[in-house]
Amino acid sequence: MEKHPRGLLLYALIFVTFFAIVHNVQAQDQNGFISLDCGLSPNEPPYNDPTTGLTYSTDDGFVRSGEMGRIQKEFTSIFSKPSLNLRYFPKGLRNCYTFEVTQGTNYLIRAVFVYGNYDDLNSYPKFDLYLGPNLWATIDMAGRTNGTIQEIIHMTVSKSLQICLVKTGRSSPMINTLELRPLQNNTYKSQSGSLNYYFRYYFSASGQNIRYPDDVDDRKWYPFFNAKEWKELTTNLAINNSNGYEPPQIVMGSASTPISTSAPWNFTWFLPSPTTKFYMYMHFGEIETLDSSDNREFNVALNGELLYERYSPSTLVMRTLSDATAQQCEGGKCLLELTKTLNSTLPPLINALEVFTVIDFSHLETNEDDVVAMRSIQATYGLSNRLSWHGDPCVPKQYLWDGLNCNDLDMSTPPVVTILNLASSGLTGTISPAIENLRHLQKLDLSNNSLTGGIPEFLAGMKSLLVINLSGNNLNGPVPQTLLGKKELNLNLAGNRNLRCSGRLCVSRNGGAIVVSIAASVTFVVVLGVAVAIFVVIKRKNTSNSNVARTTRSSEPTIITKKKRFTYSEVITMTNNFEMVLGKGGFGMVYHGTENGTEQVAVKMLSHSSSQGYKEFKAEVELLLRVHHKNLVGLVGYCDEGENLALIYEYMANGDLREHISGNQRKSILDWETRLKIVVESAQGLEYLHNGCKPPMVHRDVKTTNILVNEHFQAKLADFGLSRSFPTEGETPVSTVVAGTPGYLDPEYYRTNCLNEKSDVYSFGIVLLEVITSQPVINQNRENPHIAEWVGVMLTNGDIKCIMDPKLCGDYDSSSVWRAVELAMSCLNPSSARRPTMSQVVIELNECLAYENARRGTNQNKNSETFMEVNMNFDIVTTPDAR
């Protein structure tokens, strides 16, 4: 007998209700949850939060540093117990929490910060929050009495995860709670990057915030309702929410629909920038009892672009609609619109909406085997107190562990440890077997410690290892024959009196230890080197001092290089007797040439009248020998023969940037996108000098004529004759004679003679203004001769067109230009401390380029009346305000 449709519906409702109840009970297990009450005493046992039932425990064991604190009493009535304690970090730049996680799993990670005047200073802290080696967010507690939360959904790439607090100013980083929640991997997918929480709303007028235990994944849901345009639908019936996302029953039990049955359902929000990418998750479930003649069907559009057509929510069964690719909204304004179709008798409805912005983390974590090895070495030798040994060992470069060097030039592969220097580190015990797992290690220095035991055989099997320094220890026993037999290895065993070398002398007759020479060829090279050195000294003493240029050079160390050294006759041949002049600079004339008859080169000859001499020549050669970056001009070779000094570079077919933006020499007029691409690449080259070199370098002569462009319009920074190393944190600032080009010269450097990387930032700011305006840096015909003053005055009119290069004919994204101008002016701040770093400049310029690349059409649906503005940091105890 055929069952009545209403009977089938009742049967289905009973089944759904039973399934939901059983599933909810089973899913409320906190298995896999990590809930840390940061600063809770390790003597206190775990406890259940009375509000949520979540079990919190001390953070002791997850972090090796920091001090325990507690917010002041007048704030304790506002917050629940997990936020009353805190851990703060007065020592070190980077302090990290380490978690053992399941690799390849999506985790919801949430960090809560409540200042509560714990230090009685009434000074809100500001610091950076890192996820592994990548910046997650900047935490600025100013004015946030109710605290702030950061939440992200992140796919783990290894078996461990680190969350780091980084000191950026005088205030100490602090944190109250850390929470990790594993999610189902078939949900919240992204093509690239992690999902940073932007908002999560369910559409109800209840005013009730929802989280665990109602939400089995402990997501926080905030109510939002537009009473002017919407009405609320509710149900007490259970909804089948078992599609992986599993919003709580209370969330899916309410929905909003337009008051007017013919009106669309509109919802508007604003993104941090027009280039922000985001993912949107829309949760639908039909919760209204429909008559047989009723039908609910609607189209889903974002900023007028149809996403889903003729969608009908399922009765008491939730469905989630999301796009596999990230979305963008023109101008940063997003309008979600649900519009009923002609076949529909009912207006659209929606139950809940989640939006996440995309964070593309550029730094890969250090090779996992290397990380495991370094942590084992750290534990073996008790190096936990080293202030820099927190977080990822290699990246970001500014937080590289002391004593390490890493190969991280290839951004597509994880960094690896290449140098481990633990000399004079108070090490005891034996040589750690974990060192064998540093498979890319080239240099190992364990000298001047108190290591005992034998030299392990595995050192000989490390194929990349070229230098081992074990001198000044108490090692004993036989040296492995396989190690002694490696001719390419530089091995130093001096000071270990109880070592025995088979067939070789390890100890001198008077008991003093000596260095072991690995092969006779090494001894020969050393003897030959000494002989050559003596010969050079004698020859220099006998050299006439009448030649000033030669006298100046005699005090300079010789250049040691693997790059080709050309004779002067070879330079004459390659330039066809200096036939074609490419340009002229402070160093001298630059000529076109060919090497081997095929490779085009640029040959820069030192002029005898040049203010630059052998010192600058040597500085440039030695810098280019040790730096390699796609945005730095490459050195082919050099000539150092008598008074004939030449530098041979790769040929840059399109000349310098100044020629293009000024329109000189019939160069093509660069469009705005190309200009941005060139300054981005130039900034990357400069950033490499500041952060990629050891020691870091400051260029000192950044200007548009020193930015060269090849045939593909790829930009490269050139002319390093004035470059100098600058001090890292904790070192004495370099005081040096001021050098540079008038107009580009940092006023603070000029005034104080103190050199740092921010002097380059100032010069780069001038370059940006040149690129934007095509105006000369100094023009005495202007009322304000210097370009920075001129731009500042012109901008008081609030019109970007008054400074923009008229040759572009308005063909540019004004938001992109404004952002570039603001960046340039920030680079020109009179105080170097307030200028951005080149790393920040690169990020900002890439944003400008993204604006220009995204330029298309006009924005639609500008007349929507429903607006919502969401702050990415939000108060803990209040719902984000809709404005």
Say if residue 525's pLDDT is above 90.
no
What whole-number distance in Å separates Cα of residue 210 and Cα of residue 215?
7
Is 604 annotated to bind a ligand? Reply is yes
- List the one residue out of 883, 840, 878 whose CA is nearest residue 168: 840
Structure tokens at 133: 């080696």
What whole-number distance in Å separates Cα of residue 148 and Cα of residue 697?
38
Mean pLDDT of 179-197: 92
- pLDDT tens digits, residue range 420-475? 999 999 999 999 999 999 999 999 999 999 999 999 999 999 988 999 999 999 99
Whole-prediction pTM: 0.58
Tell which wins on pLDDT, 122 or 547.
122
Can you name the residues that pair with 763 across neighbouring β-strands? none
Query: Can you list the alpha helix ranges (DSSP code H) found in 426-519?
Result: 481-484
Question: Which of 155-164, 491-500, 846-855 is predicted with the least confidence, judged by mean pLDDT?
Answer: 846-855
- List the one residue out of 340, 329, 290, 343 whose CA is nearest residue 6: 290
What whole-number distance in Å separates Cα of residue 584 and Cα of residue 742?
17
Identity of the highest mean pLDDT range in 5-14, 343-352, 843-852: 343-352
User: What are the C-alpha distances in Å from 595 to residues 402, 602, 636, 841?
Assistant: 42, 10, 9, 37
pLDDT at 735: 56
Using CA atoms of 246, 219, 354, 240 in order, give the dihedral in degrees to the nearest 10.
20
Catalytically annotated residue among 701, 746, 760, 805? 701
- pLDDT tens digits, residue range 617-662? 777 777 777 777 899 998 888 888 888 888 898 999 888 899 888 7
User: What are the C-alpha distances in Å from 295 to residues 235, 252, 319, 329, 592?
Assistant: 18, 20, 17, 31, 77
Local structure of 744: helix, strand or coil: coil
Q: Which residue has the tokens 């209840």?
A: 206
Mean pLDDT of 501-512: 47
**Would you tell me the crossing angle of helices 758-773 and 838-853 to the nearest 10 degrees?**
20
DSSP string, 374-393: HHHHHHHTT-TT-TT-SS-S
Other beta carbons within 10 angstroms of residue 812's beta carbon come to 22
With a CB cutoff of 8 Å and minimum separation 6, the contacts of 573 are none
* 392 among known catalytic residues: no
- List the one residue out of 772, 782, 521, 535 whose CA is nearest residue 671: 772
Structure tokens at 769: 């203004």
> If you ran DSSP here, which 8-state letter would residue 135 be given?
E
Other beta carbons within 10 angstroms of residue 262's beta carbon come to 8
How far, rounded to the nearest angstrom, does the alpha carbon of residue 818 sit from its chain's CA centroid? 24
Residue 92 backbone dihedrals phi, psi, to 5 degrees: 80, 160
Say if residue 750's pLDDT is above 60.
yes
Radius of gyration of the chain (CA): 33
pLDDT at 20: 39
Give the domains, in start order, of the chain with CATH numbers: 34-183 (2.60.120.260), 223-354 (2.60.120), 385-525 (3.80.10.10), 550-651 (3.30.200.20), 655-724+741-876+879-883 (1.10.510.10)
pLDDT at 644: 86
What whole-number distance in Å separates Cα of residue 621 and Cα of residue 618?
5
What whole-number distance in Å separates Cα of residue 225 and Cα of residue 201?
9
pLDDT confidence band for 728 (50 / 70 / 90): low
Question: Which of 168-177, 354-363, 694-703 is predicted with the least confidence, judged by mean pLDDT?
Answer: 694-703
Tell which wins on pLDDT, 749 or 166.
166
